[in-house]
Amino acid sequence: MFDVGDAMNLPYDDGSLDACRAETLLQHLTDPQQAVHEMTRVTRPGGRAALPEFDTGTTLAGHPDRETTQVIPQRPADDAVQAWIGRQLPRLFRHACLTDPSGTPAMVLAGQQMIRMLLSRHVDRLGEENMLTPQQVRQWWSQLDQRAAEGPLIAGRGVFVVAATRPYLRPARITATKGQDVNAGRQQA
């Protein structure tokens, strides 16, 4: 079942889902821990919660201009709400009292067009803010195009896929980040 709802207040009863998955959501939230607590709440004991999340801080491009290329991937990370959320997933799951977390890091490789889509507004902003000269911007894109024409272009971003189990027996209290007791009024599983 797929449904649309508020990640901070899911419209499901406690323990009503066998599994709960959100994809590349937490990177956009100011309080990702609350969303993970909600996933835990609606997942039945013994059920699984899973999150694949990009880690914007791992953006890379196999470009010959190392100096400029070190500046460019930093901009998307600076602009992101949760740039390093992928590497935070195991901790968020533990804080939500999920057990047996398993994680798989991977690098999602992107072609020339995808890199342009992901980075163009950031590169433009670096030019507008005089962090890069117009010549550096033109040269960087030109060299990227040339590198892609010579053969496979290695560029992409890291993603972490983490899944964990809601335990049958859980601690006496799970406290959400906003201070509310997520066990209040609930029967012990």
- Top-confidence residue, 79 or 135: 135
Residue 159 lies in a domain: yes
Residue 77 lies in a domain: yes
Quote the percentage of the chain above a pLDDT of 70: 88
Confidence at residue 186, expressed as pLDDT on a 0 to 100 scale: 42
Residue 59 lies in a domain: yes
The tens digit of pLDDT for each residue in 133-152 reads 999 999 999 999 998 888 88
The tens digit of pLDDT for each residue in 17-41 reads 999 999 999 999 999 999 999 999 9
Residue 178 lies in a domain: no
Domain that holds residue 50: 17-165
Q: List, in order, residues 6 or more apart from 116 with CB less than 8 Å away.
A: 141
Residue 54 lies in a domain: yes
Confidence at residue 178, expressed as pLDDT on a 0 to 100 scale: 52
Q: How far apart are CA 177 and CA 181, in angstroms?
A: 9
Q: List, in order, residues 6 or more apart from 130 with CB less than 8 Å away.
A: none
The number of C-alpha atoms within 13 Å of 32 and in the hemisphere containing its C-beta is 24
The tens digit of pLDDT for each residue in 152-172 reads 888 889 999 999 999 986 555
Residue 174 lies in a domain: no
- The pLDDT mean for the chain works out to 86
Residue 4 lies in a domain: no
Confidence at residue 189, expressed as pLDDT on a 0 to 100 scale: 38
The number of C-alpha atoms within 13 Å of 85 and in the hemisphere containing its C-beta is 24
Q: List, in order, residues 6 or more apart from 73 with CB less than 8 Å away.
A: 59, 60, 61, 119
Confidence at residue 110, expressed as pLDDT on a 0 to 100 scale: 86
Confidence at residue 117, expressed as pLDDT on a 0 to 100 scale: 87
Asked if residues 144 and 153 have their Cβ atoms less than 8 Å apart, the reply is: yes
Q: How far apart are CA 94 and CA 186, in angstroms?
A: 20
- Number of domains present in the structure of the chain: 1
Structure tokens at 44: 């039945």
Mean pLDDT on 82-96:
93
CATH number at residue 76: 3.40.50.150
Q: How confident is the model at residue 112 (pLDDT cuts 50, 70, 90)?
A: confident
Residue 130 lies in a domain: yes
